[in-house]
Chains A and B, each alone.
Chain A
Amino acid sequence: MTTITKAPLDRPASTKLGAPKEKLASRTAAMIIMGVSTLYFLVPIWWLFISSTKSREQFSSTAALWFADFNLFTNIADLIAYNDGVYLKWMLNSILYAGSGALLGTLFAAMCGYALAKYRFPGRELIFNVVLGGVLVPATALALPLFLIFSQFNATNTFWSVFLPSIVSPFGVYLARIFAASSVPDELLEAARLDGASEIRTFFSVSRRLMTPALVTIFLFQFVAIWNNFFLPLIMLRDQTLFPVTLGLYTWNSQVNQIPEIRTFVIIGAFLSIIPLIIAFLSLQRFWRGGLGAGSVK
């Protein structure tokens, strides 16, 4: 289980002694597959970037995969100015929904998973099994009943109607439990108890630190889940100043046929909206890569 906290980045080069060399043909074939795959995964994003730098006229009249006049910053300025800056509002909403939702969600999932792993109490297995069942319930199946419940309290079309349901992460509890069981030694907790530290203080000062790779993983994946969430805001929200960026771009894109000039904004908006997630993933990769395999360790 040590691979959870410290997944090797690459397996150390094997001792080449005696091992027969791979054939040139196999190596070439492997690199061709990797090259073609890279094109498949990156060309669409490259196209989105190139298109974001073009003016509306040049978008359809110049070569689609290479630069024309570099209009990226004018486009961004136009996008931000459009419709009283509603795009910026959407981005901020997304950051708020996903950022604070994932932060709170990670905290609660970590505390629950930790308690399930480190304490014995009646109902422990029951809680864990119910939560595990929750992992298998599709989130979209909950969207409509959530709408019905919130409408009982006249609370649809509010920030909370999207924010509160997205805090809950059963998969986070599952991951936290696995990690806590393997990375927080019982002896350490006993030592902390002997030192007179309270259970809660021990969690926040000692165990939390040991669980950091797990927490970053849970945070990132919940952040992505909330950032990508579409059905819940689609069903809950009418007021477009509450929209997350995905729902906002969706509504713009469905108006392109009526308002053709909006197409430029859809494309530049789509490009800008994926940058925060790419940056988050790249900068935190040493954490989540170790955590990713944890769910599959039996």
Chain B
Amino acid sequence: MTTQSAVVPGVKPRRSPIRHKRAIAFFIVPFAALFAAFYLLPIGWAVYQSLLVVERDGTFGKPVEVFGGLTQYILVFQNEEFWASVGRVLLFGAVQVPVMLGIALVLALLLDSPLVKGKKFFRLAFFVPYAVPGVIAAIMWGYLYSPNLSPFAAFTSEVDLLSPSTVLWSIANVVTWVYVGYNMLIIYSALLALPSEIFEAARLDGANQLQIAWSIKIPLVAPAITLTAIFSIIGTLQLLAEPQVFRSFTSSVSSTFTPNLAVYATSAVPNVSLAAAMSVVLALATFALSFGFLKFTQRKAD
């Protein structure tokens, strides 16, 4: 209250001065400093590093990093393994994200309908896998897929779930298993927030639960579904822990199976500038895809 704005005659009216400056600084600065140091600076650093190339004087000269313009980006665009990995996660996402969100939506609608008893139990049972870290889930499913150690060996010894043609979908199952419950709860919370009078009216008009779900509930929880879709898209492009774990169960997962694995493998060469350029391309692609999806769904909603 110390900076009470008083209108001084003769002075041009201006915007009232900011109140509580020091308190605002106290609230904002800790987060802002950390955000700048561990979000903005790394992004800037990645861009800077990606513009460098290593040069040597002759074969045995000391390597020096010099400015190389977009050289690394040209290399990224020529890198077939990197684009194969991008194509792989896009294919993965195109199938896994709709399947996972479809299951999550169906389970949320069932939980919200009067058809199901024991809601509390199901809600918890479906959510438990979310408490399992991706690495642990991948180790666990790795054993469940194994041809001789699996409890379903009768099946897994016949069908090789870890072969080059199936392993992508085996990983998709791990990711789905972990995240269905989480996405279901987001959609379910949105459903619970809807006023129940809407359905009562439809019910009295003779609509069945399927019709209510399809024409009333789903359109109303569309924003929640969009949110889950965006987070799933981001997650898909970042895929790393599960395929990295699967590398110890099968040779079908190459060191450049997903874009992040390619970044890791390239930085270990070490070729950090190329890896940094890959990181930048990947971050931009993720941003563009999730932002584009957001805009697309907003336009459709209008």
Contacts and interface: CB of A to CB of B under 8 A. Distances in A.
- Interface of chain A: mostly helix, strand, loop or mixed: helix
A250 B140 contact: no
Nearest to A23: B208
A47 to B, nearest CB: 6
Given A139-B238, A250-B135, A281-B127, A257 B248 contact: yes
Interface in A244-298: 246-247, 249-250, 253-254, 256-257, 266-267, 270, 273-274, 277-278, 280-282, 285, 289-290, 292-293, 295-298
B196 interface: yes
B106 interface: yes
Contacts of B132: 45, 274, 277
Identify which of A3, A22, A37, A246 gathers the most chain B CB atoms within 10 Å of its CB: A37
Interface string B199-221: 11001101011000000000001
A235 B34 CA distance: 20
B126 interface: yes
Contacts of B127: 281
Given A7-B192, A137-B39, A38 B126 contact: yes
A31 interface: yes
A227 B136 CA distance: 11
B71 interface: no
Given A270-B139, A296-B190, A254 B247 contact: yes
Contact of B38 (A8, A11, A165): A165
A168 B117 CA distance: 41
B102 interface: no
Contact of B193 (A7, A127, A133, A173): A7
A49 B132 CA distance: 13
Contacts of A247: 135
Contacts of A205: none
B287 interface: yes
Contacts of B190: 293, 296-297
A137 B283 contact: yes
A234 B264 contact: yes
Given A127-B28, A198-B23, A246-B136, A18 B204 contact: yes
Interface residues of A, number: 108
Interface string A1-12: 001000110111
Contacts of B130: 224, 281
A34 B35 contact: no
Contact of B286 (A130, A136, A165, A298): A136
Interface in A113-156: 114-116, 119-122, 127, 130-131, 133-134, 136-142, 144-149
B139 A19 contact: no
A41 B129 contact: yes
B167 interface: no
A199 interface: yes
B41 A149 contact: yes
Interface stretch (B55-63, B91-99, B145-153, B158-166): B145-153
Contacts of A12: 196
A290 to B, nearest CB: 8
A114 to B, nearest CB: 6
B279 A145 contact: yes
A30 interface: yes
A254 B248 contact: yes
A231 B235 CA distance: 13
Contact of B126 (A37, A198, A282): A37
B76 interface: no
Contacts of A235: 264, 267
B209 A112 contact: no
A133 B284 CA distance: 11
B296 to A, nearest CB: 15
Interface stretch (B5-13, B42-50, B80-88): B42-50
A253 B267 CA distance: 23
B73 interface: no
B151 A65 contact: yes
Nearest to B132: A274
A248 to B, nearest CB: 10
Given A127-B32, A298-B223, A34 B135 contact: no
Contact of A173 (B31, B181, B291): B31
A246 B133 contact: yes
B255 interface: no
A200 B136 CA distance: 42
Contact of A144 (B27, B28, B150, B279): B279
Contact of B135 (A119, A131, A246, A280): A246
Interface string A54-68: 000001100111000
29 contacts: A3-B193, A10-B119, A19-B203, A30-B110, A30-B113, A34-B110, A37-B103, A42-B125, A44-B144, A63-B151, A108-B34, A111-B27, A112-B30, A115-B28, A119-B20, A137-B283, A137-B287, A141-B282, A142-B43, A145-B46, A168-B39, A198-B23, A250-B245, A274-B131, A277-B132, A278-B131, A293-B190, A296-B221, A297-B193
